[in-house]
Amino acid sequence: MSRLSRKGLKEDLAAEQSEDRHDRMEEACGVFGIFAPGEDLFRLSCFALFALQHRGQESAGIAVSDGKTIHLKKGVGLVSEVFTDLEAMKNKPTVAAVSHVRYSTSGGSRPENAQPLLIEYRHGSLAVVHNGNLINALELREFLEDRGSIFQTTTDSELVAHLIARYGYRDLEASLTSALPHLRGAYNFLFLAENSLVGVRDPYGIHPLSLGKWKGHYVLASETCAFDTIGAEMIRDIEPGEMVIIDENGLTSKQALPSQRLALCVFEYIYFARPDSNIHGKNVHLVRKELGRRLAREHPAQADLVTGVPDSSLSAASGFAEELGIPYEMGMIKNKYIGRTFIQPNQKIRSLGVQLKLNPIYKVVEGKSVVVVDDSIVRGTTSQKLVNMFFRAGAREVHLRISSPPVISPCYYGIYTPTYEELIGSSRAVEEIREQIGATSLGYLGYQNMIESAGLTESELCTACFSGHYPISSKGRENYDEIRRL
């Protein structure tokens, strides 16, 4: 690997591991694709990205094809910051589009890493978006660089684009069929050629990817909430290892890679996905309510009220309250306009950021025994601040309830997690964590209850960050670890 690309990766990973990161598991990007000749797909894609904004706030981008040329607009920032003038985006009738919101897991938060990536190769133009993480990225990069490839970004999308270009078949499907077996990891890729759209899901289906229909045209999205936003109907989930090719002949599906099983990220249900999305037939809000109900049965508390950390824990908190017959209250408010705490420069300012972002309703919690439901504890610093905040607001007792088991292992599949050492759940007992956080009591949902709430079997889920059992063989993971060490 060249010095330059090692340096780039090193910078990216230093940024990734810096203190600027939020004390949360962070989302994995969102993708959207549509094949609808004659429609105004720039604006439609923009609306879909608004619905997927929770999956990534670092950059946004849309590539549209008019049948001859692929046009690209992307930039750093929220969808509303990148696409400021929807009228100006009114385009000539287009054929197909892919779009993306990004939260960097590999590839760092450099402007050039914003997606879609647009390449020119001997058979025309190709725009690529992805979410997830290739665990053999470094190995692939070295392989390609040894053979003369020059990289402009540090994204997995560019790796795959180079592989496709190397195979160089006129038929994109043929190039992909050759390139995909080289990939190891968790991924959804969408490819836009001048007159076709192709979607691929990894053989374990770690991240969700759904197929829908809008005005008779096919659409693909990370989450079904994007379908609702544009008025599309959900058809089905893309299967693990499946490739769909959408063009003027309609949709063709093929099993591009053999799949042993679905291993859907269970954290999608717990935290990442929007409550109005449905994944593999389960509504996220209802799964979270069930997590809360089971949590209440497992770790009941005598309290005056139950409140949830907005927004991801509200559904679980309502389930918890219903189960025990305790009033559910809005105990705190999230200021949605502050932006991301992880862009702030250091721990001291970041701690201010948490207070700016969440504020308790003093009159509601004063003198009360409060159950606070949160979805997870990662490093523990946010939980500590949360508990402090309620005590400062006058709460008599703060019972912290977590609607998932302790996070004990990092994620290698495209979700930002701290290292083993930083994960408070990997080395401390629950009572030690409670003591550090300062809560009156602390209860985590049990592993089995988490599985049963999701309504899928354990073998259909990835639960690695709770169990340490990774569905994809560790071969190649050493590369990921090496990248993290650079």
Site for ligand SF4 in 202-221 (CB under 6 A): 206
Q: State the catalytic residue, choosing from 29, 46, 265, 462.
A: 29
List binders of ligand SF4 among 374-413 (CB under 6 A). 411, 413
Between 239 and 278, how does the x/- string for binding to ligand SF4 read (CB under 6 A)? --------------------------xxx-----------
Shortest Cβ 416–ligand SF4 spacing (Å): 9
Site string for ligand SF4, 11-40 (x = CB under 6 A): --------------x---------------
Pick 267 or 444: Cβ nearer ligand SF4? 267
* Minimum CB–partner distance for residue 172 and ligand SF4 (Å): 28
**Residues in region 408-427 near ligand SF4 by CB under 6 A:** 411, 413, 415
Residue 199: name the closest of 22, 35, 369 by CA: 35
Nearest Cα neighbor of 33 from 171, 226, 215 is 226
Binding of residue 332 to ligand SF4 (CB under 6 A): no
Question: Strand pairing partners for 243?
Answer: 200, 254
Does residue 287 interact with ligand SF4 by CB under 6 A?
no
Interface residues for ligand SF4 in 443-472 (CB under 6 A)? 462-465
- 46 assigned to active site: no
Task: Supply 455's token pair.
Answer: 């309504």
Minimum CB distance to ligand SF4, residue 415 (Å):
4
Which ranges of 29-148 would DSSP assign to H, the alpha helix? 41-52, 79-82, 137-146
Of residues 283 and 417, the one with the C-beta less far from ligand SF4 = 417
Residue 464 CB, shortest distance to ligand SF4, in Å, is: 4
Burial code (b: 16+ CB inside 10 Å, e: under 16) for 287-325 equals bbbbbbbbbbeebbbebbbbbbbbebbbbbbbbbbebbe
Residue 446 tokens read as: 């049990």
Per-residue b/e over 178-204, b at no fewer than 16 CB within 10 Å? ebbebbbbbbbbbbbbbebbbbbbbbb
Q: Minimum Å distance from CB 238 to ligand SF4? A: 17
- The torsion region of residue 379 among left (phi > 0), alpha (psi -120 to 50) and beta comes to alpha
Nearest to 212, CA basis, from 225, 193, 196: 225
The structure tokens listed for 452 are 């049963």
What does the binding site for ligand SF4 look like in residue numbers (CB under 6 A)?
25, 206, 265-267, 411, 413, 415, 462-465
Catalytic annotation, residues: 29
